[in-house]
Amino acid sequence: MRDRRKLLIAATALFALALTGPTPGWSAGPIPVVATFSILGDMVERIGGEKVAVTMLVGPNGDAHVYQPIPEDARALSQAEILVVNGLSFEGWLDRLVEASHFAGVRVVASDGIEPIAFANHDHHDAFDPHAWQSLANALVYVDNITEALATSDPGNADFYYRNRAAYVAEIEVLEAEIRKLFAELPADRRTVVTSHDAFGYFSEAYGLHFVAPHGVSTESEASATDVAALIRQIRQEGIEAVFLESITDSRLLEQITRETGASIGGTLYSDALSGPDGPASTYLDMMRYNATTLARALSA
Ligand code: ZN
């Protein structure tokens, strides 16, 4: 009788241990990692390779500003060892989800250490532009933060992660030189671009462009009639010719603006999400290259 009770206690303890989730070095399979959106997910996969199993909460073509978590998200988080987030108040819906999921792993803020750009909306208390991934220099910081987190959680494979990091960094540097060259010769009066929301602050700072948008730094805010009228005036006055749609936002407002100003649609940009696997921006590097070439082609036409 006593033995049976002991056995039951042991079985209960084992069950409880299993419920607390995977422990580093305990399970032999890939590390379960959750990334909040597709761009971070791609970076984690580049560095982690087959040693990680990545779940993206907001997938390709999804808008992370206005995301509404689903029950599967909490389930994925409850089993994750690492959660990679952008930070800079980008994922406003995340804290409640993390709490509800009883996530017990390590939370990595990919943007930690970048120089954030403040935005003009001073009555808003989150005064930093969250779209830091739109500069390749910042991507190097993201890559370092992700690599450190993987190497710390899984020290046995640290060399593997550092090797992948080195190869990735080399590609980022090549692309940075390519993009600089694309914009180097552009005259000053051909550097203003209209997009739907203010997602390209870091991009414009890096490459000397100027973006204007009817929506603010979040797709959440409605563009007011006054803002739209001011934008239309600015497009006419400055002779801005290129208006770019975004894959994650409704194009109707921008189409109306082009009709009223005679500006033309220069293409579609990928701001906050990758494209699907068959699209032109299915990886972070492809996204940066596609945006830059689309912009450069329209601006120099
Ligand atoms: Zn955005």
Mean pLDDT by 10 residues, the chain (301 residues): 51 48 60 98 98 98 95 97 97 96 97 91 70 98 98 98 98 98 93 92 96 85 86 90 89 91 93 97 98 95 82
Please tell me whether residues 40 and 133 are part of one structural domain: yes
Is residue 99 situated within a structural domain?
yes
Please tell me whether residues 135 and 201 are part of one structural domain: no
Is residue 236 situated within a structural domain?
yes
pLDDT at position 4 is: 54
Please tell me whether residues 288 and 222 are part of one structural domain: yes
Question: For residue 275, how far is its CA from the centre of ligand 1 (angstroms)?
Answer: 15
Is residue 6 situated within a structural domain?
no
Question: For residue 90, how far is its CA from the centre of ligand 1 (angstroms)?
Answer: 8
Please tell me whether residues 122 and 155 are part of one structural domain: yes
Question: For residue 63, how far is its CA from the centre of ligand 1 (angstroms)?
Answer: 8
Is residue 47 situated within a structural domain?
yes
pTM of the full structure: 0.88
pLDDT at position 19 is: 47
Question: For residue 216, how far is its CA from the centre of ligand 1 (angstroms)?
Answer: 9
Question: For residue 276, how far is its CA from the centre of ligand 1 (angstroms)?
Answer: 18
Domain containing residue 258: 184-300
Question: For residue 180, how far is its CA from the centre of ligand 1 (angstroms)?
Answer: 23
Please tell me whether residues 169 and 188 are part of one structural domain: no
Ion ligand 1: residues, CB < 5 A: 199, 272
Please tell me whether residues 147 and 208 are part of one structural domain: no
Number of structural domains (the chain) is 2
For the chain, what is the HEC assignment? Answer: CHHHHHHHHHHHHHHHHHHCCCCCCCCCCCEEEEEEEHHHHHHHHHHHHHHEEEEEEECCCCCHHHCCCCHHHHHHHHHCCEEEECCCCCCCCHHHHHHHHCCCCEEEECCCCCCCCECCCCCCCCCECCCHHHCHHHHHHHHHHHHHHHHHHCHHHHHHHHHHHHHHHHHHHHHHHHHHHHHHCCCHHHCEEECCCCCCHHHHHHHCCEEECCCCCCCCCCCCHHHHHHHHHHHHHHCCCEEEEECCCCCHHHHHHHHHHCCEEEEEECCCCCCCCCCCCCCHHHHHHHHHHHHHHHHHC
Question: For residue 32, how far is its CA from the centre of ligand 1 (angstroms)?
Answer: 26
Is residue 56 situated within a structural domain?
yes
Please tell me whether residues 170 and 38 are part of one structural domain: yes
Please tell me whether residues 150 and 242 are part of one structural domain: no
CATH of the domain at 97: 3.40.50.1980
Q: Give the residue from 177, 208, 239 where a domain finishes.
A: 177
